[in-house]
Structure 1
Amino acid sequence: MSINENITDSLQYPIKDWKKIITLGIILIIPIVNFIGLGYYSRIIKSTLTGLDEVPDFEGIEELFVDGIKIFIICIIYSIIPLIFYAFSVIFARSETVTSATTTSSIFSSYLPGLTGIPLVFLMLAVILTLIISIFAYIGLANMIYHDNEIGAALRYSEILDIIATIGWRNYILWWIVLTLIIIFAGFIISIVGGILLYFILGILVLLLGYSYLIIFQARSIALIIAFRRG
């Protein structure tokens, strides 16, 4: 399957069942319950890896919840290093803030990173590391799901590298770039349109359906790139 076929299939996949998009969107905005949404992300990948083209159901809520917690744990593990660099950017920015400022705006700005010098360097490193780590995190999560959500499988880097090598580094990086650009661009548009329409209540629906659609799209695309390799 080519990258074009992967993306085309993945873009069409969520709209096969709008009820699932709406259900997932509602689940994702409810604290704690949203772990079920992460579990559903896992189920989409697993369903695709088994060769199914239908959008899976939400049956087995407890299983979805547990799987969601596992995905959350792995995401935290993969995010630790970028978060450390981001924390440094905030710490150095605050240390450079003029503490004698008394205006409300100055007090508020003391909590924002001063995007110059050392803080900017740490922030840029955090962003770069996030992008680099996501290259391996996608495969790590898929490998965990392939191995019945065994957390350790998400961290077996030799397996992750073997999977990418089998896909082909060139093909995989091209796919990753396309997927990342789509998610960033679509996420930006959804946020802008949703934010504007919040004044008319419709914004909530745009945000709910938009981000739900993106999650299903991403899960499908990741699974297809792995399924192609395993096939």
Structure 2
Amino acid sequence: MDYTRLLSDSFDYTKEALWGRWTRWLLLLVSTIIFPLIYGYSVRVMSGTKPAPEPEGWIGLFIDGIKLLVITIVYTIPVWILAVVGFAAYFIPVSVTTTQGTGTAPGPETGIFVLLALLVIFVVLAIVIGLLSTFAVVRFSRTGSVGEAFRFGTLLSHIGSVGWLNVFIALLVMGIVITVVQFVLMLIPVLGGLLVFILTPAFIVFSSRYVALIYESAPAPA
């Protein structure tokens, strides 16, 4: 996978979408406050529309944004469940030790061991779900069907065609680039936070186009 091409194409797409188009930029900036709207615009970008679409049809944008939000929340549920189980696995043995004394009850060491084991599982699961949900939201954007976002067999097959490691590295590169840019901006006294906010539409358009290109790296299954 050509990561440089992904970054370059996404940057050019974002530049064409926003640079000099100040009305569009302002509308998208307002949409970040009413966040389902900016999520809906992200859906349109991920749908493969080129050049970037106008932010219009606000009811449709809002509805698509809500759908995208619901899909994302559903995908995070297993991660939250495992996190709760992990904390319970630690605190329950500690509590038993405290209430029953030393005896034969499991001690803090048992809780720590279980917690570490679950931490490893948690990280792996979070990565898998992160990759899966990325392809899920793009597939939803391409088809307009929420149900398509949960065709796990199809999504797993598509990710396998692109390459799990390729997708992971590509998303990692995107995350690093955006984080570095935001960090540098935050170093600017007084104006740093304001600049990050003003550039929020650019970050969203960039990332939406970027994941769309990853999705297109291999033909999507029917």
Where in structure 2 are there 5+ consecutive unaligned residues? 96-111
Task: Name the TM-score, length of structure 2 as normaliser.
Answer: 0.74
In the other structure, the counterpart of 1:102 is none
How far apart are 1:9 and its partner, in Å? 0.2
CA distance in 2, matches of 1:184, 1:127: 18
In the other structure, the counterpart of 2:106 is none
Aligned match of 1:74 in 66, 71, 74? 71
Change (3 A) 1:126 1:221: same
1:134-149 matches, cutoff 5 A: 134-148=130-144
Amino acid at match of 2:77: I
1:90-109 matches, cutoff 5 A: 90-91=87-88
In the other structure, the counterpart of 2:193 is 204
Amino acid at match of 2:203: L
1:102-141 matches, cutoff 5 A: 117-141=113-137
Percent of matched pairs sharing the same residue:
24
In the other structure, the counterpart of 1:7 is 7
Where in structure 1 are there 5+ consecutive unaligned residues? 98-115
Question: Partner of 1:36: helix, strand, or coil?
Answer: helix
In the other structure, the counterpart of 2:108 is none
CA distance in 1, matches of 2:139, 2:176: 24
How far apart are 1:91 and its partner, in Å? 4.4
The question of 1:187 aligning with 2:142 is answered no
In the other structure, the counterpart of 2:82 is 85
Question: Partner of 1:13: helix, strand, or coil?
Answer: helix
Contact 2:174 2:207 in 1 (8 A): no
Contact 2:83 2:122 in 1 (8 A): yes
Change (3 A) 1:181 1:229: closer
1:149-168 matches, cutoff 5 A: 150-165=145-160, 168=161
Contact 1:179 1:218 in 2 (8 A): no
Aligned match of 1:215 in 186, 201, 204? 204
How far apart are 1:175 and its partner, in Å? 4.0
How far apart are 1:181 and its partner, in Å? 2.9
CA distance in 1, matches of 2:79, 2:55: 33
CA distance in 2, matches of 1:227, 1:183: 19
Change (3 A) 1:126 1:135: same
Amino acid at match of 2:215: I
How far apart are 1:89 and its partner, in Å? 4.0
How far apart are 1:193 and its partner, in Å? 4.1
Contact 1:36 1:68 in 2 (8 A): yes
How far apart are 1:154 and its partner, in Å? 0.2
CA distance in 1, matches of 2:159, 2:211: 12
> Which structure has the bigger radius of gyration?
2
Alignment RMSD: 3.2
